[in-house]
Structure 1
Amino acid sequence: MKRTTVAVAAGALLLPLTGCGGDTRAGSGDTVTVTVGYQSKTINTVTAGTLLRSLGSFERELNSLGDGVTYKVKWQDYATGAPITAQMTAGKIDIGSMGDFPLLINAARGTQLGKPTHLVSVTGYNLRGGLNTIVTAPNSHLASLKDLRGKKVSTSIGSAADGTLVRALRRAGIDPDKGIEKLNQQPAVGASALSAGSADALSQFVAWPGLLAYQGKAKALYDGAELNLPTFHGVTAREDFAKRRPAVLQAFLKAQAEATDYLNDHPVTAAEKVAEATGLPAEVVYLYNGAHGIATFDPALKPRLISALKQDVSVLKSAKLIGNVDVDAFVDDRYAKKALGSSYTAGLTAAPAPAASEVWPKGATRTRSFATPTALLRHLAAHRDGIRAAYVPDATTGTPWFADKAVWVADGDRLLPFVAPATARAYVAGHQGARTVSYAAALARAAS
C-alpha cells in the first residue's frame, strides 16, 4: 500500500535512543541550525525534500520538541547525490536524500574518511526498477538495446541510472565498458546532448526520462523495470549528528512520514506543489508520484530493498567507484522505528498499490481510474479536449507511462500499452494475431 499511517505516542520524539548520547552542545536558549541536503528535481525524494519543505512539517516538529532550543533549518538543493555526500563528510550537511547507488557511495566515503553515515529511511521505490529509463531521440531508428552497440550513451556514472544501463547492456550481451561510448554527464547536460544529436541515447533517473518524453524530446528505448530488481531513494544521516541529536533526526523522520501521508492522501495536490517548487510539469511529477505512479512512498527500510542494495555493491566496485561496503552496518532503522512506531513495522510488509489506468481531467483535483487500458482509451476518444494527462501501465512490467507516448499492441479486442518497443515486439512474437498499432489507431479501435 502506498498509504503510511503515522501513529506516534505524544512525547516519543523527546526520548533518546539507547546507547546514544543526548545533545551535549546545545542547551536551553541556544540556537541550532540543522542542514538538509536534497534534490528538488529528483522527485522520488520529495517526502524528504521538496514536498517536506513546502509543507513546513520538519520545522513544526522541531518547534514541538519543547527542549528550550531554537531550531533553524537550512535547505540546500543539489542536482545529484555526489555533492550532498561531499558536504556530509565535511560535516556541513546533517541529513541528505539520494538514490540507492549514491547511497552506497555515501556509505563508502563516510567510512573511508572516518565520518560514517547511515541509511535511516526510504522515500520512493519501485520493486522492479522502473525509476530508471533509457531513452532515445524521437526520430531515432534505435529499437532495442542491441542497437546501442558502438553508440554514444549519456549517463551519470555512479548513479542508479548508470547501474541500470550497465545491467541492461550485460543482459543484452554488450560489454558496458567497451561495447558503447559512455558519456559521463549531468542529467541536464545529457538531455541537451540527446537533443543536439551528440548522444544517441540517454540513461537517467526520475524525472528526466518522463520529462523528455512528455516534452516530445525523447522516446523510451528500455524500461528499467525489465531488470526486475528494486530501485529506491532514501535518507542518510551523519552518525555523529544522529548520536548527538537523536530527537532532531526522529523529528525529521516523523515529518517525512507526515509528508508521505500527505502525498498519498492528496496525490494531485502534492504533484502541483512539487511542480510549483521545481518548475517541472505537474503531469510529469504525477507520472512518478501519483496514486498509481511509478514510485511507491513508504519510509520503511524493507528487506527486499536492502537485499537489492547489497547487489548494487558489485556494480559500483566494477566501476572502481567504491571498495567493499558493509550494507548491514550502513542501514540503521532504530531512529525510524522510534519515531514511527507500529506504522514503521506495518510498512515493512506493505505492498505497492496495483497498477491502474488513470485520466487526469482538466481542472480536476482528482484523477479517474479505469479497469483496463482499453476502457481508458474509449474514454479518451470521447473526451479529447477535456484531458490534462492520461497514464497506462506497461502490460509486461506494470510501469506507468503516458498513454500517447506508449507503444500500443492490438490483441483481439484488447489494446495493450508498453513503455518500450522491444517489450511490445516480444509480446507480439508470443501472441498469434497481435500487432503493434499507432496511438491514433488504438484510439479509433477503442471508440469503435
Structure 2
Amino acid sequence: MNMQKTLAGMLVSLLLTPVAFAETIRVAIGTQDTTINCATGGALIRELKLLEKYLPHDGKYKNVRYDIQWKNFTSGAPLTNEMVAGKLDFGAMADFPGSFNGAAFQKAGKQSLFISVLSGSIQGSGNGIVVPTQSRITSISELKGKTISVPFASTSHGMLLRAIKQQGWDPEKDVNIITQAPEIAGSALKANKIEAHADFVPFAELFPFRGIARKIYDGSQANAPTMHGSLVDAAYARKYPEIVKAFLKASLEADRLIAAEPEKYSELIAKVTGINAEVIYLFHGPLGLQTRDFSWKPEYRQAVKTSIETLKYIKHEQIDLDVEHFVDDQYIRAAFKESGRDYEAQLKNYAQLPLVAKDTLTGKPVTDAKQVAQIWVAGEAHVRHYASPVSALTDLKALEKAGKTVRVTYVQDSQSGIKLLAHDAWFVQNKTGIYSFLLKRSAEEWAQTHDGKVLDFAAARSAI
C-alpha cells in the first residue's frame, strides 16, 4: 500500500512539474545542384552532412533541436519566391538572380543579404554562347540577324547583352533574343532549331562535352565579372547569427575537401546532379574555368552592381537596391576567423586553384599554367597532368594504342589561360610546339604572327 501511495505521489508530482520542451530551429536551404559552382554552398554540405558538424549546441542553443531542410531548384527565380514567402532561410544563386532576390525581398518589405561568394570569375568565365555542332558559325560576330536563346533575367542574359553591345549592335533590332531554359535549349540545339544559345554554368561546357553544341564565346570576352554566392534572410541572420556562421564554416570545409580531392568530389557531385564529372572537374579542378572564392573582392561587388543596372534594363522597372547594405561580409569574415583562415589574405589572392605536379610523360615539373594539358583516363582515380599539349597528345596516342579509354582531355587557352575541352578547342602548331585556343579567329591571328598552322583537335592529334 505504501509503495502504491509513493508511486501515485510521484506521478502527481510529474504531472504538476512544468516540462521544458527543447526549441526547434528550422534551417531551410535552397540549392541549385545542377549549377555546379554552387556545390560548396549546397550539394557537398548536404551529402557530407557538414552543417550538422558546425551547428552550435552551447549557450542559447544548448537544448536546441535543428530541423534541417533541403530543397533543390534548377534556377534562382523559384528559389527566391520561396525565400520571400518565408519557406527558406538560405539560398545559392548567381549575381543576377541574387540581385532580383534582394529586390523581391525589398518589394515585400523585407530584406535579404548576399553573405558570401562561392565561385566566380573576375573575367566572366562560366557564362558562354554555343551553336549547334554542325553550324558553320565560329564567332559571335557572325550572329547578327540570328536568333539567340537565353534563360531570361539570368546572369548569362546579362553577359549576352554586354557581348552584343561590344559588337556595336542594338539587342532589340540586330538580333532576335528569345527566352529558353537550358533543358529546352539542349534539345533545340540537337535538332538545329535555334542558331545560338547563351547560358550559365555549366551548360556552355556541358552541351559541347555531350556533343550537341560548340562553344563560340566565353564570358571572359565580355570582361565582366560574374559569381555565384549564398544569401540569407536578414531577419533570420539577425536572430541566429551563429547558425549563419555555422553554414559558412561548413561551406569552407566543403571548399577545402574538393580542393584536396577534386576528382573524388567531382564524381560525388556528378552522382547527385547528373552533370558529367568531367565537366565538374573542368570548373572545380586545378586551373579550373572558375575560381572558388568566398571573399567579396571589389570585382564581385561590381558584378552585383552591374547586375542591378542590367536588370533595370531587362525588366524595364525601377530596382532601388543598395549594394553596400545588400552585400554583407560580416558573417563570412567571422567564419574565416573561426576556421583559422585569413580573410584579408584571400581578398588579395586572385590565383586559380594551383596545380603542383610533374609531367606524366617526362617527369619534369609543370611550370607554365597556360601550357598545361590534362587527360582523365577511364578507371584511373586521378587526372594525368602534362607540361604542354605536345606531351599530352603524345601520351594520348600511346594510351589509345594500348586500348585505354580516355574520358576527357583538357588544355588551357594560350592567351587567357582559361581551361578548355580539348576536342572543342583550336590549335596552332609551329616550330616551338602546339598552342591551344578557344576561338578559331584567335588561333588564326596568332598563327599569322608566329609562323604557325591552325589545326582542329583531330588534326593536332595527327600532327604528333
Paired with 1:351 and 1:249, the residues of 2 have a C-alpha distance of: 26
Show the counterpart of 2:254.
Answer: 259
Offset of 1:442 from its aligned partner?
A: 0.9
Aligned residue type for 2:435: L
Offset of 1:51 from its aligned partner?
A: 1.4
2:386 to 370, 377, 381: 370
**Which whole-Å deviations, capped at 9, do the CAs of 1:289-312 have from their partners, x for residues lacking one?**
112211211211122211232233
Whether the 8 Å CA contact 2:95–2:303 is kept in 1: the answer is: no
Paired with 1:147 and 1:224, the residues of 2 have a C-alpha distance of: 17
Matched, 1:130 2:130: no
Show the counterpart of 2:51.
Answer: 58
Paired with 1:52 and 1:255, the residues of 2 have a C-alpha distance of: 6
Aligned residue type for 1:433: D
Offset of 1:119 from its aligned partner?
A: 0.6
1:209 to 204, 213, 217: 204
Whether the 8 Å CA contact 1:63–1:70 is kept in 2: the answer is: no
Instruction: Kindly name which structure, 1 or 2, has the bigger radius of gyration based on alpha carbons.
Output: 2
Whether the 8 Å CA contact 1:317–1:324 is kept in 2: the answer is: no
Q: What does 1:130-169 correspond to in 2, within 5 Å?
A: 130-169=125-164
Aligned residue type for 2:434: L
1:329 to 303, 325, 330: 325
Show the counterpart of 1:422.
Answer: 441
Show the counterpart of 2:31.
Answer: 38
Whether the 8 Å CA contact 1:105–1:322 is kept in 2: the answer is: no
Structure 1: tracts of 5 or more residues without a match: 1-26
Whether the 8 Å CA contact 2:374–2:409 is kept in 1: the answer is: yes
Paired with 2:268 and 2:318, the residues of 1 have a C-alpha distance of: 37
**Which whole-Å deviations, capped at 9, do the CAs of 1:318-370 have from their partners, x for residues lacking one?**
21265232111111111111122143332211222254322223222222222
Please state whether the residue corresponding to 1:158 is helix, strand or coil.
coil
Show the counterpart of 1:413.
Answer: 432
Aligned residue type for 1:234: G
The 1:434/1:64 distance shift into structure 2, 3 A limit, reads farther
Show the counterpart of 1:11.
Answer: none
Please state whether the residue corresponding to 2:342 is helix, strand or coil.
helix
Offset of 1:198 from its aligned partner?
A: 2.1
User: Which of 103-112 and 317-326 deviates more?
Assistant: 317-326
Aligned residue type for 1:40: D
Paired with 2:299 and 2:174, the residues of 1 have a C-alpha distance of: 31
Paired with 2:447 and 2:153, the residues of 1 have a C-alpha distance of: 35
Offset of 1:157 from its aligned partner?
A: 1.6
Paired with 1:338 and 1:264, the residues of 2 have a C-alpha distance of: 22
Higher RCO, 1 vs 2 (CA within 8 Å, ≥6 residues apart): 1
Offset of 1:376 from its aligned partner?
A: 1.9
Show the counterpart of 2:415.
Answer: 396
Show the counterpart of 1:361.
Answer: 377
User: Which of 368-377 and 99-108 deviates more?
Assistant: 368-377
1:87 to 69, 72, 82: 82
Aligned residue type for 1:326: D
Matched, 1:339 2:335: yes
Paired with 2:427 and 2:57, the residues of 1 have a C-alpha distance of: 52
Paired with 1:322 and 1:83, the residues of 2 have a C-alpha distance of: 21
Paired with 1:68 and 1:54, the residues of 2 have a C-alpha distance of: 25
Paired with 1:125 and 1:259, the residues of 2 have a C-alpha distance of: 16
Paired with 1:287 and 1:50, the residues of 2 have a C-alpha distance of: 17
Please state whether the residue corresponding to 1:179 is helix, strand or coil.
coil
Percent of pairs with identical residues: 33
Aligned residue type for 1:375: S
**Which whole-Å deviations, capped at 9, do the CAs of 1:233-273 have from their partners, x for residues lacking one?**
00011111101111111110010001011111111111001
Offset of 1:425 from its aligned partner?
A: 3.2
The 1:264/1:28 distance shift into structure 2, 3 A limit, reads farther
The 1:116/1:212 distance shift into structure 2, 3 A limit, reads same
Show the counterpart of 1:349.
Answer: 348
Show the counterpart of 1:436.
Answer: 454
Q: What does 1:105-254 correspond to in 2, within 5 Å?
A: 105-254=100-249
Structure 2: tracts of 5 or more residues without a match: 1-19, 355-368
Offset of 1:444 from its aligned partner?
A: 2.5
Tell me the TM-score normalized by structure 1. Answer: 0.89
Whether the 8 Å CA contact 1:152–1:198 is kept in 2: the answer is: no
Aligned residue type for 1:443: R
1:102 to 88, 97, 102: 97
